[in-house]
Amino acid sequence: MTAPLELTLGQLGRLDELARGGTATVYLAPELRLPGLGDERFVYKKYNEATKQSAGPSLGTGLSNFVRFRERLPEEQREAWDARIIWPVSVVLDDSGAADGVIMRLIPERYFQEFTKRAGGVNRKPREVETLFGDDVTSARKGLAWVDLPARIRLIRAIAAAYGMMHKQNVVVGDISGRNIIYDPDPARPSIMVVDVDSARIKGNRAVFGMQPHTPNWQPPEALLASAALQRASRSSPSPPVEMLDRLRSRWAIQTTATDVYKFALMTVRILSNGRGGAVSRDPARARGVLKARIGDTAADLLDASFSDDAKQRPTMRDWYDALQHRKPGSRTPSPRVAADETPAAQKTSTLLANGHQVGQWVWVEGQGWVRRGSRPRP
Amino acid sequence: MADSRQANDDRVLALAFYLLVDVSYSMDGAPLNAVNKILPEVIDTIEESPTLGDIVRFGALDFADDARTVLPLGDLRDVESIPNFTARGGTSYAAAFRQLRKDIEHDLAQLKSDGYKVYRPAVFFITDGAPTDNMSDVQAAFNDLTDPGFRGRPNIIPFGVTASLSKAVLDPWVSPKPAESNKAMRSYVYNGDGDAATAIKQIAEVLISSIVASATSVNDAGAAGGFVPPDDDDLDDWI
Ligand SMILES: Nc1ncnc2c1ncn2[C@@H]1O[C@H](COP(=O)(O)OP(=O)(O)OP(=O)(O)O)[C@@H](O)[C@H]1O
């Protein structure tokens, strides 16, 4: 049994608003149960009018293709897919039969973070990967657990696994940014999920919402070049032929597996050299050093190649995943319990923190590192 | 080399926002209490997102008979204790515009020398009354602030927080005006059932939405687009 391809608004039961994004409003559908999806809970992502307008009449077909794509995966692969990606499981139709939004699984509890507010109280929302890009002082003030380098590398490897799997199934991730990966830093099993996959494209199909621009500060070099050329062309007189402008326009928005790889490398840089300015940095130096020291030359070279201006020179996600599986001979195993290992930063932190120190949902346990509050202490 | 750098401009676009608040005595009490909740909320939003932290620069000014920089434009993650707005004196728009011009000139030069690309800043201007100063003074200060020769001439969005304020009082201080730009700004006067404090709470919400939207906006050429003004759909109670 699989979930129905389409549902009507009336079948969703009660809806409680969870959050509003730029393109949609997301509701919890607490009463909805779907066959084949056991005791999962679901959200309804209802696209706003502007989003539906820009997608045009093919929205329904596009979303159905998305849903069917996941259902056609062999069971084993579907399980691996669902473990890493929040993918639409049904299309929701309005009273007129037009597509209005999608049903997705509710993001699991362990990916939520309570952000401490300045005036007291907390904001609860998914822990997006960009929170790994920031400086340690602000992160601590917000109640985010400190994530050491070994855990950061494991998170990067998990992202490589997810993107690699998507590419293997001929899916281009598309609009990658610090907001569409969420993570759980639990040192016992750091893990990630890919969310907000609306901009993904199944190869051979058009993207559901048409041309998707790259998020600012994530544009690959080919897009930056096309933008600059387009800006120059639109200022020049006499104005250049329309066909030329169209060609440039389609170049700045092009999303491919090679642009995914470039952006994955940017994400790696931002995760490994966090701090002020880290969320918009394109400077690979520090991350390159970390990869070289902890994984080896191959990973450092992959980083360089991923930033190549020539998309054909960039490696594949598979190359990345394979490289990240390796550890430099002699370097310490990134094991679950090394939050207090020999890294200078870890030493600094562990001497600063008293056993039992609590930050948000986390407590510092000497010899173990951050442990989720309320979870059973490890022997 | 110079050419390739120009062709491939990946300098980060910084977004400069100013909050300009009327602190004349009529704003004392609930309205200023509501204003004092804006900065903590904006700071929370910025601190939850390192990306916003790295690109948004925020400053605050108040004005009565004179104008003051309450929070110099900067990275909100550096703010240790959050300043409060307190009431004093009259309503000199001229003083406000003059201080703003001075601050913007200084702040943008600073951002550029720090290696950022910057566009025109955005000013969220909160008031509950007409200016008490000489009209020709106000006009002169406004002209100076919005002079086409001034690279940092801001986008100004005036918010009147009481229905008793007529739109005609605010419209002259919108910039740019519809006749001047295809990206014109507009004024808003609260016309809902709530009080001034309710109105100010809504301004805080649209200010935050505007900051978040600006950070991901893209222009026709696919480059970072900069400032996205509030969405009229979020301001149903305003005319
Ligand atoms: N599956 C989910 N489970 C729980 N919460 C979710 C889920 N999907 C989205 N949300 C919440 O809704 C918010 C908006 O969702 P999403 O980012 O998908 O919308 P969007 O309009 O595409 O966003 P953006 O503003 O990035 O364009 C998210 O930030 C998150 O807090």
> Using 50, 70 and 90 to split pLDDT, how confident is the model at A359?
low
Residues of chain A in contact with residue B80, where contact means CB-CB under 8 angstroms, are: none
Q: Do A216 and B220 touch (CB under 8 A)?
A: no
Tokens 């799997």 identify what position?
A165
A279 neighbourhood in chain B, CB within 8 Å: 49-51, 53-54
Instruction: Verify whether ligand 1 is closer than 6 Å to residue A22 (CB atom).
Output: yes
Residue A111: left if φ>0, alpha if ψ -120 to 50, beta else—which one? alpha
Cβ atoms of residues A98 and A92 within 8 Å: no
Domains detected in chain A = 6-75+85-106 (3.30.200.20), 110-208+255-324 (1.10.510.10), 221-253 (no CATH)
> Residue B125 burial (CB < 10 Å; 0-12/13-18/19+)?
buried
Lowest pLDDT segment from A205-209, B113-117, B210-214: A205-209
Find all residues with CB under 8 Å of A75, minimum gap 6, and list them.
Answer: none
Chain A, 77-116: which have a CB under 8 Å from a chain B CB? 115
**C-alpha–C-alpha distance, residues A90 and A102, integer Å:** 6
With DSSP H G I counted as helix, E B as strand and the rest as coil, what are the percentages for chain B, rounded to 5? 40, 20, 40
pLDDT at B102: 98
Contact B43, B76 (CB under 8 A): yes
Instruction: Supply the angle between the helices A297-306 and A317-325 in degrees, to the nearest 10.
Output: 160
Architecture category of domain B11-234 in CATH: 3-Layer(aba) Sandwich (3.40)
Distance between the two ends of chain B, CA-based, in angstroms? 52
Tokens of A29: 């559908």
Cβ proximity of B58 and B76 under 8 Å: yes
Task: Give me the pLDDT at residue A67, please.
Answer: 95
A46 forms beta bridges with A25, A101
pLDDT value of residue A361: 62
pLDDT in tens, A100-110: 999 999 999 99
pLDDT band at A327 (very low <50, low <70, confident <90, very high): confident
pLDDT at A352 over 50: no
Domain ranges of chain B: 11-234
Tokens of A331: 């370097």
CA distance A175 to A196: 9
Neighbours of B68 (CB within 10 A): 16
Give the range among A63-67, A92-96, A201-205, B74-78 with minimum mean pLDDT.
Answer: A201-205
Confidence of residue A375 (pLDDT cuts 50, 70, 90): low
What is the four-CA torsion angle of A32, A38, A40, A44, rounded to 10 degrees? -40
Q: What is the pLDDT of residues A65-88, one digit of tens each?
A: 999 999 999 999 999 999 999 999
CB contact under 8 A, A118 and B220: no
pTM over 0.80: yes
- What local confidence, expressed as pLDDT, does residue A2 receive? 78
Nearest Cα to A211, choosing from A88, A46, A102, A55? Answer: A55
pLDDT of residue A365 exceeding 70, the answer is no
Q: In the prediction, which pLDDT does B63 show?
A: 98
Q: What is the mean pLDDT of chain A?
A: 88
Percent of chain A clearing pLDDT 90 (strictly above) = 69
Q: Mind listing the pLDDT tens digit for each residue in B36-61?
A: 999 999 999 999 999 999 999 999 99
Using CB atoms, pick whichever of A123, A221, A234 lies closest to residue B48: A123
Bigger pLDDT: B195 vs A369:
B195
Confidence of residue A344 (pLDDT cuts 50, 70, 90): very low
| Tokens standing for residue A89 | 């499981």
Rounded CA separation B109/A188 (Å): 48
pLDDT given at position B5: 39
CB atoms within 10 A of CB A333: 10
In the prediction, which pLDDT does A98 show?
Answer: 94
A18 within 8 A of A45, measured Cβ to Cβ: no
E strands along A186-237, which residues?
A: 191-194, 201-202
Note whether B20 and B124 are within 8 A (CB): yes
Question: Which pLDDT score, from 0 to 100, does residue A355 have?
Answer: 62
E strand or H helix at A63, and its extent? Answer: helix A59-72
Cα(A68) to centroid of ligand 1, in Å? Answer: 22
Lookup result for tokens 């062309």: A233
Residues of A in contact with B212 (CB under 8 A): 22
Number of alpha carbons in the 13 Å side-chain half-sphere of residue A311: 16
Contact B93, B141 (CB under 8 A): yes
A371, A44, A2, A43: which is closest to A187 by C-alpha?
Answer: A371
Q: In what helix (H) or strand (E) does residue A352 lie, and over which residues does it extend?
A: helix A344-352
Q: How far apart are CA A155 and CA A322, in angstroms?
A: 14
pLDDT value at position A339?
40
Instruction: Tell me the range of A35-44, A112-121, A347-356 where mean pLDDT is highest.
Output: A112-121
Q: What is the pLDDT of residues B127-185, one digit of tens each?
A: 999 999 999 999 999 999 999 999 999 999 999 999 999 999 999 999 999 999 989 99
Q: Count CB atoms within 10 A of the CB of residue A158.
A: 21
CB B20 within 8 A of CB B100: yes
How far apart are alpha carbons A358 and A143 in whole angstroms?
9
Partner B contacted by A133 (CB < 8 A):
yes
Residue of B104, B57, B107 whose CA lies nearest to B77: B57
| Beta strand ranges found along chain B (DSSP E) | 13-22, 56-63, 67-74, 117-118, 122-127, 155-160, 188-189
pLDDT tens-place string over residues A246-264 = 877 777 788 999 999 999 9
Q: How far apart are CA B93 and CA B89, in angstroms?
A: 12
Residues of B in contact with A131 (CB under 8 A): 48-50
What pLDDT, on a 0 to 100 scale, did the predictor assign at position A39?
85
For helices A317-325 and A257-272, angle between their N-to-C axes, nearest 10 degrees: 40
Cβ–ligand 1 contact at A18 (below 6 Å) = yes
- Read off the pLDDT of residues A257-288 as tens digits, 9 standing for 90 and up: 999 999 999 999 999 999 999 999 999 999 99
**Residue A366's pLDDT band (boundaries 50, 70, 90)?**
low
Tokens of B124: 């969220």
Interface test with B, best of A51, A123, A227, A239 (most B CBs within 10 A): A227
Are B96 and B65 in contact by the 8 Å Cβ rule? The answer is no
Nearest to A102 by CA among A23, A192, A205, A204: A23
- Cα atoms in the 13 Å half-sphere on the side-chain side of B187: 24
> What whole-number distance in Å separates Cα of residue A140 and Cα of residue B47?
11
φ/ψ (deg, to 5) at B194:
-80, 180
**Is a pLDDT exceeding 50 seen at residue B65?**
yes
Share of chain B above pLDDT 70, in %: 96
Confidence of residue A377 (pLDDT cuts 50, 70, 90): very low
Supply the pLDDT for residue B6.
42
Category of A218 on φ-ψ map: left (φ > 0), alpha (ψ -120 to 50) or beta: alpha
Nearest alpha-carbon partner for A197 in A182, A187, A219: A182
- As a whole number, mean pLDDT of residues A300-324 equals 97
